[in-house]
Amino acid sequence: MKLTILRLTEFTPQDRIDLAKIWPDAAIDQLEKSLDENHRLYAARFNDRLLAALQLEIGGIQGKITALRVREATRRRGVGKYLLEETIAQNSSLTDWWIADDGSDEQQTRAAFMQNCGFRAQSDGWVK
C-alpha cells in the first residue's frame, strides 16, 4: 500500500489510537474540536495506520507548522519529509512557511532535517 498524506477533519477510533502514539501528551478530543479552515491537521497514512502528523495554522499567506512528529519506529525513512512536502503542496496559496522549534527532538537531528527540507534556521524555528 502507498503512503498517503491527508488532511484529517474527523478522527476514526484507529486515528485516535495512532495520534496518541504520535503525540502521547496531546488531548486528542480537544485537538479534533479545534480543527477548522485555519487550524488543520495533516497526517501520513500507511496500511490504515497514521505514522506521522503535523498541525498547520493558516494566517493570510503564512502557514505555521507545529508539532511535526514521526513515530519512532518509522523515522529516517522519508515519511516526515514527504508529509512536509505534501502539506506545502496541498496549500499552494500559502507563500510563507514557518515551523516552530518546540525543543522536543534532538536539536542537531531536527536542524539537519529542516535544512534537508529547504528551510533555514531562525532563533525560534525555521522559515521557507
pLDDT digits (tens, 9 = 90+) for 22-53: 999 999 999 999 999 999 999 999 999 999 99
- Eight-class DSSP state of 74: G
- Distance in angstroms between the alpha carbons of the first and the last residue of the chain: 31
Encode pLDDT of 79-112 as tens digits.
999 999 999 999 999 999 999 877 665 777 888 8
Encode pLDDT of 8-27 as tens digits.
999 999 999 999 999 999 99
In order of 53, 95, 124, the CA distances from 69 in angstroms are 6, 23, 18
Domains of the chain: 4-127 (3.40.630.30)
State the chain's mean pLDDT as an integer: 91
- pLDDT at position 1 is 67
Measured distance CA(36)–CA(24) in Å, rounded = 22
Whole-prediction pTM value? 0.91
Q: Name which of 99, 96, 1 is nearest 42 in CA terms.
A: 99
